[in-house]
A and B are shown apart, each in its own frame.
Chain A
Amino acid sequence: MKKIALLLIGIGLAGPALADEFTKEDTDRWMAQFEQVAAEGRRLWTSPEIGTNGVACAQCHPNAANTHPETYPKFQKQLGRVAQLWEMFNWCLQNPLEGEVLAADDPRMIAMQAYVYKERRGVKLAPGKH
């Protein structure tokens, strides 16, 4: 117990003591982290490197249009069940891009989702919509 208490004090000394004590500097830094990942997503979206046949996501989805991330999870006819957006990315990777699937937590998958959501910002959530 004593050890844990000391450890907590130790962490407390390294930053603000309370959870709600973060500054604009912090939020700017966090947003910059997001923007950096979304920019990498945009790079991948427009690059042939994640498929095998030279086709890029942006070839059919300029500015990530017609991906409607706000509608997921939803039933996908291709998969025959309710699925998440990243599963649909994998369908595209395997079919039009003739490539390999990515894991849900693959940094490239996260980056592409960051980009797609960013292009769709401001649109109301509509889970399940077709």
Chain B
Amino acid sequence: MKKMNTLSGRRDFLKATSSGLIAGMLPVSLVRLVGADEHGTDFTFAYISDSHIQHIKDSKFVRNWDQGLIRAVAETNLLEPKPDFVVFGGDLAQLGTKPELDHGAEILAGLNYKMHAVLGEHDYYLDLGEYWSELYGKHYYSWDHKGVHFITLNSILTYDEWTYDRWESPERRMNEMAGLDNPNGSPFMVGKKQLKWLKKDLSKVAKDTPVVVFSHSPLQKIYKGWNFWTEEADDVQAMLKPFDKVNVIYGHVHQIQYNQIDNIAFTSVMSTAWPWPYPESYAQAESHLPIMTVPMNRADPFNERDATGWQFMNMHTGRVDLEFNLYNNTNRTVSFNEEKGHPEDTMFDDPANRIPAQQHF
């Protein structure tokens, strides 16, 4: 018993110690050497998501969630090579309040890089994204960087009736959407207006230009009960189909998922706050977790940072490789396998290399 605690304590010390030691360790594990490619598009960016900053009262916030985001910012600043930019993948706040968004934005302001923000449902359903917009601007937009076309979508809209007519107060509306498993919630949508914008935006992009789409919810249908789902996923996929290389990166699910549908490589990112179980572990429901996904190391709360972390992304030859930097679990790398034509875990794809902790039940 004592022995086990000592061992685990030492590992925690190595992985969880102050940034001083991490500064010495981090670059070694993150440097990725890549060859030149036809677009000259080799570069890196970092991805932090789902911090769920939660206000208690006055100047008090839930310490556990704060720590996850503070650590992501500190570690991202130590990256070598420096990333070209950072993306924050949505759900900065838990209940969309000004104190939560301000507190989260203050922590993110510590980043030494330009940041692009994605809107999550927890940032939106209190004031329909009004205060978030004051901090981060448009709810959906696109930009070009070193030959790659980037698109940020707002995928967490829903039916107008649900948003505007059903609830007696904005607070009630926010609370109803905040419960992941709440049957009073509503499916996530991109909406007609944004689909029209997307079509127009894509019409200006050459078909051989690599495209990277950031959305909060998966633009594929995995499990509707927890909104691991976007209602118009098929429509968005159809619009992206004519392009040679498309990558979709999404948050919301707080777990490792990856998939390939036609030309589109999908990869999720982790939360800095807490992990979510895989839908398959809910005994009463059917889920459609992509079969190629090797699950994250099982989340069990032995350590409050278990199965949380952030991502370092390597963009090369139009595809994204992800390094999952996990605070209290073995790091994972999910790279695009050109031969197989889909993303795969560089270590765990071979069942012989898997570790028992990846069993979910």
Flag whether B316 is at the interface (Cβ < 8 A).
no
Q: Nearest residue in B to A81 (C-beta to C-beta)?
A: B1
Check A63–B274 contact: CB distance below 8 A: no
List, sorted by A's number, 26 A–B pairs whose CB atoms are closer than 8 Å: A54-B55, A55-B62, A58-B179, A60-B275, A62-B179, A62-B180, A62-B226, A63-B225, A63-B285, A65-B277, A65-B279, A65-B281, A66-B277, A66-B299, A68-B361, A77-B300, A78-B301, A78-B302, A96-B274, A96-B304, A119-B282, A119-B283, A119-B284, A120-B283, A122-B283, A123-B283
Flag whether A29 is at the interface (Cβ < 8 A).
no
Cα-based distance from A73 to B234 in the complex (angstroms): 45
A63 and B181 in contact, given A78-B302, A95-B301, A119-B284 (Cβ under 8 angstroms): yes
Q: Nearest residue in A to B62 (C-beta to C-beta)?
A: A53
Q: Which residues of B contact A92 (CB under 8 A)?
A: 301
Check A54–B301 contact: CB distance below 8 A: no
CB of B103 to closest CB in A, whole Å = 14
The 4 A-B pairs at the shortest CB distance, nearest first, are namely A66-B277, A62-B181, A65-B277, A65-B282
* Mask: chain B, 73-101; 1 = CB below 8 Å from A; 0 = not: 00000000000000000000010000000
Q: Restricting to B101-154, which residues have a CB under 8 Å from any CB of A?
A: none
Check B1–A66 contact: CB distance below 8 A: no
Cα-based distance from A95 to B306 in the complex (angstroms): 14
Flag whether B54 is at the interface (Cβ < 8 A).
yes
Check B180–A58 contact: CB distance below 8 A: yes
Q: Nearest residue in A to B57 (C-beta to C-beta)?
A: A54
Check A55–B54 contact: CB distance below 8 A: yes
Flag whether B182 is at the interface (Cβ < 8 A).
yes
Cα-based distance from A119 to B225 in the complex (angstroms): 14
Q: Which residues of A contact B55 (CB under 8 A)?
A: 54
Cα-based distance from A120 to B310 in the complex (angstroms): 31
Q: Nearest residue in A to B181 (C-beta to C-beta)?
A: A62
Q: Nearest residue in B to A42 (C-beta to C-beta)?
A: B181
Q: Which of B94, B277, B279, B302 has the most CB of A within 10 A?
A: B277
Check A66–B281 contact: CB distance below 8 A: yes
Q: Which residues of A contact B62 (CB under 8 A)?
A: 53-55
Cα-based distance from A68 to B300 in the complex (angstroms): 11
Contact of B274 among A46, A59, A120 (CB under 8 A): A59
CB of A73 to closest CB in B, whole Å = 16
Cα-based distance from A46 to B5 in the complex (angstroms): 33
Q: Which residues of B contact A95 (CB under 8 A)?
A: 301, 304
* Mask: chain B, 287-300; 1 = CB below 8 Å from A; 0 = not: 00000000000011
Q: Restricting to B324-361, which residues have a CB under 8 Å from any CB of A?
A: 360-361
Check B301–A96 contact: CB distance below 8 A: yes
Flag whether A121 is at the interface (Cβ < 8 A).
yes
Contact of B277 among A55, A61, A123, A129 (CB under 8 A): A61
Flag whether B206 is at the interface (Cβ < 8 A).
no
Cα-based distance from A62 to B225 in the complex (angstroms): 10
Flag whether B261 is at the interface (Cβ < 8 A).
no
Flag whether B56 is at the interface (Cβ < 8 A).
yes
Cα-based distance from A90 to B44 in the complex (angstroms): 43
Q: Which residues of B contact A80 (CB under 8 A)?
A: 1, 5
CB of B344 to closest CB in A, whole Å = 25
Cα-based distance from A60 to B180 in the complex (angstroms): 9
Check B64–A96 contact: CB distance below 8 A: yes
Q: Which residues of A contact B281 (CB under 8 A)?
A: 65-66
